[in-house]
Amino acid sequence: MKAYIFDNQPGDQRLPHDSGKEVGPEALEKLGVLYYRIPELADVDRLATNRGYKNRDEIKVSPTTMGDIYEAKVKSFFEEHLHEDEEIRYVRGGAGYFDVRDSSEEWVRIRLEKDDLIILPAGIYHRFTTDETNYTHAMRLFKDEPKWTPLNRSGDLDANQFRQEYVSTYLN
């Protein structure tokens, strides 16, 4: 895992966009973002049990697995959004970037590779993209029935209960 401030320069979203301003794991924790390096699937199973994740699935995001919808799908993942549930991703292969908003509204880019697991709290604004290799194989974990409902950022989304809870817990 490597985290840093996104440089906001134009160009392909799948490029590093590394500003050179590193962000450490402690700063991510202050945003509610939890990171684990987990090489053994049994340890993912233990984490899932401890956190109450009952369901999981796997997704391979690539042109080979998704065909003609790949580009549109990656662009949709990159729209700024939040979820009303935690977002848990365990990278099984390839790599990708999760960008999260910090307390000053800057993007923090988090590069994840094989054996990296990230937990984003409900209500955090974020987005995802593959890197320039165009391949991410990820396990998605869920507390209840698998669902993945992104709520794209809009003016009235700041009043969302999960966003309000996130702000009061992590940004105040």
Annotated binding-site residue numbers: 81, 83, 87, 126
Binding-site residues from annotation for Fe(2+): 81, 83, 87, 126
Q: Which residues contact 162 (CB under 8 A, 6 or more apart)?
A: 82, 83, 84, 122, 123
Alpha-carbon distance 18 to 9, whole Å?
10
Bridge partners for 37 per DSSP: 116
Tokens of 96: 């990708």
Q: Is the dihedral of CA 98, 92, 70, 158 positive or negative?
A: negative
Binding-site residues from annotation for Ni(2+): 81, 83, 87, 126
